């Protein structure tokens, strides 16, 4: 569908990535827990904007590689599969600790938007992730329509998931942020899923 390889795996992988409690998720939960829904939504759009910028840069570079060196693109696909497995192993080994913090004064949604955008745009791992992730679902002859469809899928699924996370409410968001068992379960499941995706996609790309 949309000329995206392994389409349903692509959708499932995006959902798994949303469950990983990374810096962006923590920024959203923090904003919601401290200053309510508007602050949380501000953080959501800040995170999405940062991710969008990285996706544009990653796909622009990949499009050039696909046109000039298909063999290098094939190597990137295997690198992406290995990178997913490496991320999964890292999640399985990571230690999850409760996060605590001081109660913050009332701030506008714009403040949290800027903070979340800064968190996203200054994280080089995000760029590396997209460079490794997208080739797994692209054909060497993929068009700009396919690239745009991939960005749209990631952005919309992220928007829906992160908005629902905010709408769960201030109290629940705070509990999720400080409750290590829930975060540990989500992290371990995501790690297992990433390893499985890496193996499956490497096999499919042979």
pLDDT in tens, the chain (206 residues): 778 888 998 998 888 888 776 777 778 877 887 788 899 999 999 999 999 988 888 888 877 776 677 677 678 778 878 887 887 888 788 776 655 544 556 678 899 899 889 888 876 667 777 877 888 888 777 778 888 899 999 999 999 999 988 887 566 655 655 566 766 776 777 778 778 877 876 776 55
Question: What is d(CA 74, CA 76) in angstroms, rounded to the nearest whole number?
Answer: 5
Is residue 107 within 8 A of residue 42, CB to CB? The reply is no
Cβ-proximal residues to 188 (8 Å cutoff; 6+ apart), any chain: 91, 92
Each domain of the chain, given as residue ranges in start order, spans 19-204
pLDDT value for 175: 62
Question: What is d(CA 42, CA 32) in angstroms, rounded to the nearest whole number?
Answer: 9
Question: What is d(CA 91, CA 186) in angstroms, rounded to the nearest whole number?
Answer: 10
Q: Which DSSP string do the residues of 53-111 spell out, in sequence order?
A: HHHHHHHHHHHHHHHH-HHHHHHHHHHHHHHHHHHHHHHHH--------PPPPP--HHH
Is residue 173 within 8 A of residue 33, CB to CB? The reply is yes
In 3D, which of 61, 82, 54, 6 has the Cα closest to residue 158? 54
Is the whole model's pTM more than 0.85, yes or no? no
Question: What is d(CA 87, CA 29) in angstroms, rounded to the nearest whole number?
Answer: 22
Question: What is d(CA 138, CA 135) in angstroms, rounded to the nearest whole number?
Answer: 5
pLDDT tens by residue, 155-179: 999 999 999 888 875 666 556 555 6
Q: Which two tokens stand for residue 121?
A: 């745009």
């Amino acid at each position: 569908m949309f000329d995206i390889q392994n389409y349903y795996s692509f959708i499932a992988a995006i959902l798994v990535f949303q469950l990983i409690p990374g810096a962006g998720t923590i920024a959203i939960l923090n904003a919601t827990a401290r200053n309510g829904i508007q602050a949380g939504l501000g953080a959501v759009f800040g995170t999405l904007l940062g991710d969008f910028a990285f996706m544009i840069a990653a796909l622009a570079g990949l499009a050039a590689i696909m046109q000039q060196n298909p063999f290098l693109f094939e190597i990137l696909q295997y690198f992406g599969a290995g990178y997913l497995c490496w991320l999964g192993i890292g999640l399985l080994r990571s230690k999850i600790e409760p996060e605590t913090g001081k109660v913050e004064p009332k701030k506008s949604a714009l403040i949290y938007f800027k903070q979340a955008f800064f968190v996203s745009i200054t994280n080089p791992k995000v760029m590396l992730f997209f460079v490794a992730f997208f080739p797994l679902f692209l054909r060497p002859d993929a068009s700009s329509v396919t690239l745009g469809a991939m960005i749209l899928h990631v952005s919309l699924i992220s928007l829906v998931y992160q908005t629902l996370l905010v709408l769960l409410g201030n109290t629940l968001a705070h509990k999720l942020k400080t409750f290590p068992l829930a975060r540990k379960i989500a992290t371990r499941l995501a790690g297992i899923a990433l390893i499985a995706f890496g193996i499956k996609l490497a096999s499919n790309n042979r």
